[in-house]
C-alpha cells in the first residue's frame, strides 16, 4: 500500500491510479450536505471559507457523539453523490480531494479531471473501526449543524481506495 500525506501537490495527485490502495495521513475536513451548501454559497458570494480550501481534502462524514476519553465517535463515510451538486464549485475553488462512499455524477468526474483532483473511497460500514486512525478532531465551523459541522481531523494511515483518479478513471466503471 502506498503511504501519502496531505496536502498533496499536483503531481502527487496525478500519480494516483483508480483502484490503488493508500494509507493517508494529514489534515482532513469533514463536511456533509448542509455544510457543503454553505461553503458553495459562500464561494459564489466571494466570501471567505472557514478553512483554506486550496489543496484541502474533505471527508464526507458526520461523526457520531464522541465517547468519554475518545478522540472521535464513529466516523464512517456518507454517500458522496448528495454533495455532487456543490462539488464542481468547490473543486474550482481549489479543493484537491474528497473521501466518501459510492459513485459520483458525470459532472463531478469531469470536474475532477479539469481540476486535477482525486476521489477516495473509505470503507463503508466501518465507522467505529475508522476512529482508530483519527488522532485529533476539532469542530471548526457551522457548529449549529451538530454532527454535520465542519471538523478538522488529523489522521494517520487512514486506509482508502482511489475511486476516481485525476484522469477520470472510475473504479465503478470497470
CA pair distance 60, 122, nearest whole angstrom = 9
Cβ count near 170 (within 10 Å): 18
Phi, psi of 139 (to 5 degrees): -70, 135
Residues 81, 103 contacting (CB under 8 angstroms): yes
Number of helices (H), then strands (E), belonging to the chain: the values are 5, 7
Closest CA to 155 of 55, 21, 30: 30
Among candidate residues 36, 38, 40, 96, the one labeled active-site is: 36
Peptide bond into 7 cis (omega under 30): yes
**Residue 45, SS3?**
coil
**In the structure grid, which three cell numbers stand for residue 59, read together?**
471527508
- Name the 3-class secondary structure at 112: helix
Catalytic residue flag (residue 54): no
- Catalytic residue ranges: 36
Amino acid at each position: 500500500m502506498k503511504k501519502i500525506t496531505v496536502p498533496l501537490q499536483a503531481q502527487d495527485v496525478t500519480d494516483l491510479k483508480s483502484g490503488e490502495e493508500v494509507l493517508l495521513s494529514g489534515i482532513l475536513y469533514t463536511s456533509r450536505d448542509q455544510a457543503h451548501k454553505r461553503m458553495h454559497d459562500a464561494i459564489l458570494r466571494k466570501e471567505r471559507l472557514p478553512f483554506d480550501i486550496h489543496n484541502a481534502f474533505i471527508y464526507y462524514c458526520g461523526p457520531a457523539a464522541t465517547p468519554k476519553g475518545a478522540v472521535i465517535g464513529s466516523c464512517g463515510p456518507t454517500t458522496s453523490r448528495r454533495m455532487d451538486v456543490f462539488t464542481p464549485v468547490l473543486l474550482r475553488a481549489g479543493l484537491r480531494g474528497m473521501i466518501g462512499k459510492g459513485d459520483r455524477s458525470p459532472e463531478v468526474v469531469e470536474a475532477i479531471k479539469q481540476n486535477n483532483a482525486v476521489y477516495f473511497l473509505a470503507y463503508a460500514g466501518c465507522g467505529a473501526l475508522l476512529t482508530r486512525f483519527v488522532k485529533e478532531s476539532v469542530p471548526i465551523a457551522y457548529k449549529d449543524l451538530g454532527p454535520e459541522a465542519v471538523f478538522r481531523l488529523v489522521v494517520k494511515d487512514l486506509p482508502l481506495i482511489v475511486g476516481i483518479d485525476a484522469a477520470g478513471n472510475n473504479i465503478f466503471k470497470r
